[in-house]
Amino acid sequence: MKKLLLAAAAALLTCTAWSQAPPTFNKGDMVFNAGIGIGSTLYSGRLYSSTLPAISLSGEYGIEEDFLTEDLTLGVGGYIGIAGSKYETRFLGDRYGWRYTYTIIGARAALHYPVADKLDAYGGAMLGLNIVSFREIGDVPSGISNDSSGLAFSLYVGGRYYFSEHFAAMGEIGYGIAWLNLGVAYKL
């Protein structure tokens, strides 16, 4: 996955000589995203199942045009994502397991490049906090419940295709609340 993200970022940076598209993300622009995630980065295995699909909200503000090279725009913003899962199994006829809730809150920075008309292509990184809470479920109570948190880091590439001046379809691939996020975006 890291190799895919690095290759996508390198491709985005090397395209600067070929693109003639007008920028779709500029200094002073503010864009909000809402997405649904596909594929978990937080849990895996045959005994796990999703209880809450990965949902993410993010906002971004363009702070610098022609950043590092011509046509690149730097944007910064915030991110929040939430997802849920459960681990459940049976032993001697009794059901037991745990229900998990994951919340990721972070700050993001992205480089935007105009690849085609109406398409805002970008890649970036996020640094934040992953808050995990788990509660026991099942027939055999042991009293185990806990909350914990840790550092969250994400690399991602994405794009927004604008159907109008303000509304766009959004997609991102990367490590975060999910491997793939699809949704909508609104530019103020």
pLDDT at 53: 86
* The pLDDT of residue 140 is above 90: no
Q: How confident is the model at residue 44 (pLDDT cuts 50, 70, 90)?
A: low
* The pLDDT of residue 187 is above 90: yes
Tokens of 32: 């909000």
pLDDT at 143: 67
Helix (H, G, I), strand (E, B) or coil at 188: coil
Q: Quick: pLDDT tens for 66-124.
A: 888 788 899 999 999 999 888 887 878 788 788 888 999 999 999 999 888 899 999 99
Report the pLDDT averaged over residues 23-32: 89
Chain centroid to CA 69: how far? 26
If we measure between CA atoms, which residue out of 104, 113, 90, 93 comes closest to residue 159? 113
pLDDT at 10: 53
* The pLDDT of residue 19 is above 90: no
Which amino acid is residue 106, in one-letter code?
Answer: G
124: buried, middle or exposed (CB in 10 Å: 19+, 13-18, 0-12)? buried
* The pLDDT of residue 2 is above 70: no
Global confidence as pTM: 0.78
Residue 96's contacts (CB-CB under 8 Å, 6 or more residues apart) are: 88, 89, 90, 136, 137, 138, 139, 140, 142
Q: Which helix (H) or strand (E) holds 97?
A: strand 94-116
Report the pLDDT averaged over residues 6-29: 61
Q: Which domains does the chain have, with CATH numbers?
A: 29-60+67-112+125-187 (2.40.160.20)
Mean pLDDT rounded to a whole number for the chain: 83
Q: Quick: pLDDT tens for 156-183.
A: 999 999 999 999 999 999 887 889 999 9
**How do 73-91 and 167-174 pair as beta strands?**
unpaired
pLDDT at 78: 96
* The pLDDT of residue 8 is above 60: no
pLDDT at 18: 46
